[in-house]
Amino acid sequence: MREFTAEPLDIPSVTVAESPQWHENALWYCDIEAGGLLRFDPQDASLKRWTLDGALASIAPTDGGFIAGTSLGFEYLSLEDDRLKRELLHAPFTASPAAPMPGTRMNDGIADPSGRFWCGSMEPNSPQFGRLFCLDKGQIRVVRDGFRTLNGLAFSSDGRRLYVSDSHPSVAKVWTIALDADGMPLEKPQLFANLSEFGGRPDGATVDEHGGYWIAASDSGRVLRLDPKGRPDMVIHVPTTNPTNITFGGSDFRTAFITSLKPGGKGNEFAGRIFAVSLPVAGRKPDRYIA
């Protein structure tokens, strides 16, 4: 197995950093509980931050801004005169979008090659616990339910294979789902990997140019690359316990950027930081949501 070590970037930590996206030659990511949208420019090491009320869990680029999964549901975020504007598109949790159930919010989210936005929910007061939603040209549908903590969303380059995980300690598995051209499941989820066999729980993920699936193995201080049979063949060591997600960026998309969190608001000196490492394989540009 090939091994690499990621180094921390010289930017402040946050409590829960997630959903990294390489967009317009910069790294964008979320500070979930604090509702922060952050932009780091590696060229001049500048960091900018915008904050919205409530949680900001995931983002994907779209024309003029980002589609986002938040504590309200699905929102469109844009910047006007350097100020963050938000537009609520769908509030799936309650008939009253101003008062979603306590502890409920969207979580991991990603756009697919066809321009749809997929996002999972965390709904502790719901019998389904968590649902996988698909937002397709403004229309929303539930793809699956029954998740505890939905994570690990990623797509094959043709958009016909969906990866999804459940990072709850009682589950800790990754599945694949074959999709038709309209993004509808062709089969029940097929077990891809049981991360408890390798150590850690599955969190955020991405896919590289060769189809390798990179998954943040939370609690283990590692990011694993799984081959098409679900076996680890590369590993990135991160100097903190809980990496949360990974994306590729830079001029050649061979730099991996890794987010992390502070477990229980604590952790070591690197908890909640962003890390980077150069890899021998390139990632794919992030897909965009098409409204």
Q: What is the pLDDT of residues 163-213, one digit of tens each?
A: 999 999 999 999 999 999 999 999 999 999 999 999 999 999 999 999 999
Residue 199: the pLDDT is: 93
Residue 99: the pLDDT is: 55
Domain that holds residue 121: 2-278
Q: In sequence order, what E strands does 7-155 have?
A: 7-8, 17-23, 26-31, 36-41, 46-51, 56-62, 65-70, 74-80, 83-90, 105-111, 117-122, 132-136, 139-144, 150-155
Q: Is residue 204 part of a domain?
A: yes
287 appears as a binding residue in the annotation: no
Tell me the three-class secondary structure of 160-220, residue by residue: CEEEEEECCCCCCEEEEEEECCCCCECCCCEEEEEHHHCCCEEEEEEEECCCCEEEEEECC
Sign of CA dihedral 60, 100, 124, 37: positive
107 appears as a binding residue in the annotation: yes
Q: Is residue 283 part of a domain?
A: no
Confidence of residue 126 (pLDDT cuts 50, 70, 90): confident
87 appears as a binding residue in the annotation: no
| pLDDT tens per residue, range 66-120 | 999 999 999 999 999 999 999 999 998 865 445 566 778 999 999 999 999 999 9
| pLDDT tens per residue, range 224-280 | 999 999 999 999 999 999 999 999 999 999 999 999 999 988 899 999 999 999 999
pTM: 0.96
- Residue 114 neighbours by CB under 8 Å, 6+ apart: 159, 181, 183, 290
- Please check the confidence at residue 125 and state whether its pLDDT lies above 90: no
- Please check the confidence at residue 124 and state whether its pLDDT lies above 80: no
- Please check the confidence at residue 156 and state whether its pLDDT lies above 70: yes
Residue 95: the pLDDT is: 54
Q: Is residue 291 part of a domain?
A: no
Total domains in the fold of the chain: 1
Identified catalytic residue from 31, 108, 166, 203: 203
Q: Is residue 49 part of a domain?
A: yes
Give me the chain's average pLDDT, please: 94
39 appears as a binding residue in the annotation: no
Q: Is 203 a catalytic residue?
A: yes
Residue reference for tokens 């201080």: 221
151 appears as a binding residue in the annotation: yes
Query: Rounded to an integer, what distance in angstroms lies between the CA atom of residue 75 and that of residue 67?
Result: 6
The distance of Cα 54 from the centroid of its chain, to the nearest Å, equals 18
Q: Is residue 285 part of a domain?
A: no
| pLDDT tens per residue, range 62-76 | 999 999 999 999 999
Q: Is residue 286 part of a domain?
A: no
What is the chain's alpha carbon radius of gyration, rounded to the nearest angstrom?
17
Q: The domain spanning residue 74 has which CATH number? A: 2.120.10.30
- Please check the confidence at residue 288 and state whether its pLDDT lies above 70: yes
Q: Is residue 169 part of a domain?
A: yes
Q: Is residue 52 part of a domain?
A: yes
* Across 34-56, average pLDDT: 96
| % the chain with pLDDT above 90 | 89
